[in-house]
Structure 1
Amino acid sequence: MQLTVNSSINMDLLMYTVSIHVPVLQVLVGIFLFVNSLMIFTFLKKEVFREDTRYILFAQTLFVDSAFMVVNNILFICYGFQYRIHMIPCIILCLAMTFFYICTPLTLVAMCLERYVAICMPLRHAAISTSRNRCFGFFIIWGISSIAPIFNFIAYLSTVHSSALFSYALCSVELLLGEEWVAQTRALIFQIIFFFMIVVVLFTYIKIMIAARAASSDNKKSTKSLRTVILHAFQLSLSIVQFVTPYIEIAFWKGDVMMFINVRYSSFVVFMIVPRCLSPLIYGLRDERFFIVLRHYACYGVDNLSQSLSIRSKVRPI
């Protein structure tokens, strides 16, 4: 399946719209990648963060979100300027984007489970949060994230002629959904993952909120915990909505190209960039230990000796 531009479309207006969208998008993506890179650098510089499951999961979201943003940005620019690329790199980019697309919300669900164990089962947290269990958890996340890309790849190869692999096209994930049954099966996979995440998130957050209210007599501390829960729930809701947006976009894919680009641009900003910007806010800037070290490196280490000693003393405890 290949999108062709109708001759009635005003290409000048299309290029004008894209020329406005692309610079704004590049600024947003550039800021996002800069903040993520600084946080990844902060994570790698301190061993205490590399030994804590919470921060390791946070680092994975930073890596995955950054890779997803780069790949999606490349595809958006190519599609916006109607630039056709070879199908083999197109397939690789689309499969990688689908993998990253699923991996982020699954990692957030894993972070919910980690917080549930830490708050509701504090005595067992150290025994459960081991390097072996972390590796096992990552294999589960990566395995589930690979189901949809592997299915898309096998289904695409089975439904197109081999010569199609050497053609050029406007690269989009929709290219891999040439047959109706492929799109329906992919939707079913997303729905199963969606249901799984909803169940886990609801269970963990209800338990965490009950435990936080029962254990905390400090109203200020309780309020902060509830705000974190609300921010996290909002982020997950936006991330989960990502599974629905492709089926909204595909309705415009065969019609007006400019409308399709506008819809994709809006969904990209609202459901791709915004929830990924919340990760640095929730787990980076609002985390006191991480923020102290982050500020230290963001200021290029321009601290006096007492401030440096204060940083070291605060980041040692896990």
Structure 2
Amino acid sequence: MAANNSLAGDDFFLRKVKFVILQVLMMIFLCINFLLIITFFQKEYFYTTARYILFALTLLSDSCTLFMSDVLLILFHFRINIQDWICLTLYVVVTLYLTLTPITLAAMTLERYVAICMPLRHGELSSMRNTMNCILIIHGISSLPCILVLSICIVSISLGFYKQYQLCSLEMFFVYIWQQTLWSAVYQFQFLIMSIIIVFSYIKIMKVAKAASEGDKQSTTKGLRTVVLHGFQLLLCLIQLWCPFIEAAMLQIDYSLYENIRYFDYIMFYLAPRCLSPLIYGLRDEVFFHALKYYASFGLLKRNI
């Protein structure tokens, strides 16, 4: 009995430590994103340039995803029951922004493709009007899984269900197996299209890189690396779709193993892809990095843009 109490106490302490670590990581990522967003709005060049506008869109999307998912995590950790309609609303918002980031990555990859492979048309295609239209299209495509989730819930669940108080979980809205399969299939089809866009852009940019003169090679190579990083981000986001299936299988084997896998998945496939955007554009982009240093130091460092 004493041994069992000791094991239970260790598990409880470990859960608390994991929860605290996640909250610290969440605060760090949100603070970094907040600083990057402030930097974006401080310079007219940033909010009138297509690639920086798309970058800011990923920052806002990632910040919303991190914040909303953390709210769901806190509710689950403290076993707080909420009405099902509130739970559904939270998951619809999270679903929207989970999809929005990878679609924006595909749009940013296309922007790099146009800049490197079609430089004479880059100014026309990356105009403010086209960029705003692109953002509307991105939100429209990102809304499709949300519409699917809502349709599934309306068809399969009675209205009285939404007045109940339960622990918030997306799985409780999927009554039949085919509903979750359909939801996953829509996501994976979207990611297949985005993967094709990134591979196509990579191949085209690589051809230009090989044919480029010595002066242009450095810029082209940097664009090529950016596309590779976008591809890596997209891969992590795609693996994230398979996590619920893996976690469900682990739950049948051992609950402790399920918790550890879920903790690992959250860090690797939810947090990690959303901290790569600041790395790609916040640190690798020379113009943005100098502006970031200036504002992060409250103007103590010399502005060098």
User: Is contact 1:78–1:171 with CA below 8 Å preserved after alignment?
Assistant: yes
Partner Cα separation in structure 1 for residue 59 and residue 156 of structure 2: 35
Q: What's the offset of the Cα at 1:76?
A: 1.5
Q: Counterpart amino acid of 1:244?
A: W
Q: Counterpart amino acid of 2:83?
A: H
Q: What's the offset of the Cα at 1:230?
A: 3.3
1:152 alignment counterpart? 149
Q: What's the offset of the Cα at 1:213?
A: 2.7
Alignment of 1:208-287 (within 5 A): 208-217=205-214, 224-252=222-250, 257-287=255-285
Question: Once the two structures are superposed, what CA deviation does each residue of 1:233-285 show, in whole Å capped at 9, x if it has no partner?
Answer: 22222122222223223334577554433222211100111111111011111
Please say if 1:105 is aligned against 2:71: no
Aligned match for 2:57, one of 56, 60, 63 = 60
1:300 alignment counterpart? 298
Question: Once the two structures are superposed, what CA deviation does each residue of 1:59-79 show, in whole Å capped at 9, x if it has no partner?
Answer: 000000000001111112222
SS class of match (2:300): coil
Partner Cα separation in structure 1 for residue 86 and residue 251 of structure 2: 21
Partner Cα separation in structure 1 for residue 139 and residue 225 of structure 2: 30
Q: Counterpart amino acid of 1:167?
A: Q
* TM-score calculated relative to the size of structure 2: 0.91
Aligned match for 1:31, one of 5, 23, 28 = 28
Cα distance, 1:160–1:229 mapped onto 2, change above 3 Å: closer
Partner Cα separation in structure 2 for residue 140 and residue 251 of structure 1: 36
Q: Counterpart amino acid of 2:25?
A: L
How many correspondences in the alignment? 298
User: Is contact 2:81–2:168 with CA below 8 Å preserved after alignment?
Assistant: yes
Q: What's the offset of the Cα at 1:127?
A: 0.9
Cα distance, 1:90–1:56 mapped onto 2, change above 3 Å: same
SS class of match (1:61): helix
User: Is contact 1:153–1:176 with CA below 8 Å preserved after alignment?
Assistant: no
1:78 alignment counterpart? 75
Question: Once the two structures are superposed, what CA deviation does each residue of 1:192-230 show, in whole Å capped at 9, x if it has no partner?
Answer: 102111111110111112212321425766654544343
User: Is contact 1:174–1:250 with CA below 8 Å preserved after alignment?
Assistant: no
1:3 alignment counterpart? none
Aligned match for 2:37, one of 29, 35, 40 = 40
Partner Cα separation in structure 1 for residue 38 and residue 213 of structure 2: 34
2:123 alignment counterpart? 126
Q: What's the offset of the Cα at 1:16?
A: 3.0
Alignment of 1:165-244 (within 5 A): 165-217=162-214, 224-244=222-242
Cα distance, 1:226–1:94 mapped onto 2, change above 3 Å: same
Q: Counterpart amino acid of 2:249?
A: A
1:116 alignment counterpart? 113
1:50 alignment counterpart? 47
User: Is contact 2:61–2:100 with CA below 8 Å preserved after alignment?
Assistant: yes
Partner Cα separation in structure 2 for residue 115 and residue 77 of structure 1: 39
Question: Once the two structures are superposed, what CA deviation does each residue of 1:67-109 show, in whole Å capped at 9, x if it has no partner?
Answer: 0001111112222332222212111111111111111110000
Cα distance, 1:198–1:114 mapped onto 2, change above 3 Å: same
Instruction: Give the percent of matched residue pairs that are identical in Structure 1 and Structure 2.
Output: 41
Partner Cα separation in structure 2 for residue 104 and residue 266 of structure 1: 21
User: Is contact 1:42–1:294 with CA below 8 Å preserved after alignment?
Assistant: yes
Please say if 1:140 is aligned against 2:140: no
Cα distance, 1:176–1:256 mapped onto 2, change above 3 Å: farther
Partner Cα separation in structure 2 for residue 191 and residue 15 of structure 1: 36
* TM-score calculated relative to the size of structure 1: 0.87
SS class of match (1:68): helix
- Stretches of structure 1 that go unaligned for 5 or more consecutive residues are 1-9
Q: Which runs of 4+ in 1 moved over 6 A?
A: none
Question: Once the two structures are superposed, what CA deviation does each residue of 1:124-153 show, in whole Å capped at 9, x if it has no partner?
Answer: 011111222112211221111111111111
Q: Which has the higher contact order (CA 8 A, sep 6+)?
A: 1
Question: Once the two structures are superposed, what CA deviation does each residue of 1:131-177 show, in whole Å capped at 9, x if it has no partner?
Answer: 22112211221111111111111211221122210111111222222
User: Is contact 1:98–1:148 with CA below 8 Å preserved after alignment?
Assistant: yes
Q: RMSD of the TM alignment (CA)?
A: 2.0
Question: Once the two structures are superposed, what CA deviation does each residue of 1:13-60 show, in whole Å capped at 9, x if it has no partner?
Answer: 654332121100011111101110000000011111000000000000
